[in-house]
Amino acid sequence: MPIPEEVTGEEIDKDVRQELQSLPKTLAEDVARNLVMVARLLDEDPEGAYGYSKVALRLASRVAAVREAAGFAAYATEKYSEALAEFRAARRMTGSAELWPVMADCERGLGRPEKALDMAGAPEVQKLDKAGQVEMRLVAAGARRDMGQLDAAIVTLQSPELASQSAQPWTARLRYAYADALLAAGREDEAREWFAKAVESDRDGSTDASDRLAVLDGVDFVDALDEQADLDEQADDEPDEPEEPGKPEERAVTEERDERAERDEERDRETGRDGERD
């Protein structure tokens, strides 16, 4: 797959670059450039990211960072079985529990929420940092909802992190998940309160909490493009108006020009007849 010339491979994280040092220099550069493309496209073009991840995987399947990138690309394209296999491979290589929550979410994607809940109670969770533990809580709550256990999902999300007034990277997503669970359980007033709190902490727009809040407040959104399309369609449906014959002054100028042309033609004809008599 083509890679833009400006992508050098130097853009990758230094820890990943260090992992690639085990490869020949040229090969390491090729792998690094493909990993950069995976990172760039993962959110906006998951299929494109997946394609680059397969190239990197073919070049360096024994590098943990490559297996992890391939896992996230497969995860983004909902290839959960493939993603889980890659995450497991990366975990075996590093011994880290960092990927445990996303592995559990792959189990959800495969229709095995019970397995995800088992993983939420495993010793590996204790090895996670705070962000990882919050992520694991979100996955567990999702698994409860998959099983139709809405009240249990709500209880799962009730935690010190949820009640904390400080804004952390995970705060908006945690509050959003809690609000969404409350709404699913029919607790609309509480849901509105927590969607509002999610909006307060969502500084980078990682959720659509503001839209959800607006819907609860009865605000109707009108897409400007859709509105213009409707106006254009209405204009197309209207019968064409007959063309106006022109403004009075324009008609007068035209008539005068035509009369002058007729006089010139008459004069030419008279001149021609006089020439013939001579």
Q: Is 150 exposed, middle or buried (0-12, 13-18, 19+ CB in 10 A)?
A: middle
Q: Enter the CATH code of domain 1-95.
A: 1.25.40
Check residue 278 and give its pLDDT.
47
CA–CA distance, 175 with 157 (Å, rounded to integer): 9
Fill in the DSSP letter of residue 223: -
Check residue 26 and give its pLDDT.
95
Give the tens place of pLDDT for each residue, 74-109: 999 999 999 999 999 999 999 999 999 999 999 999
Quick check: pTM over 0.85? Answer: no
Check residue 277 and give its pLDDT.
47
Check residue 247 and give its pLDDT.
52
Dihedral sign, CA of 235, 240, 243, 244? negative
CA–CA distance, 187 with 183 (Å, rounded to integer): 5
Check residue 69 and give its pLDDT.
98
Positions of CATH 1.25.40 in the chain: 1-95
Q: Give 104's contacts (C-beta < 8 A, 6+ positions apart).
A: 115, 116, 119, 120, 136, 139, 140, 143
CA–CA distance, 265 with 108 (Å, rounded to integer): 92
Q: Is 163 exposed, middle or buried (0-12, 13-18, 19+ CB in 10 A)?
A: exposed
Residue 187's region, left for phi above 0, alpha for psi from -120 to 50, else beta, is: beta
Check residue 257 and give its pLDDT.
66
Which regions of the chain are under pLDDT 50? 243-244, 246, 274-278
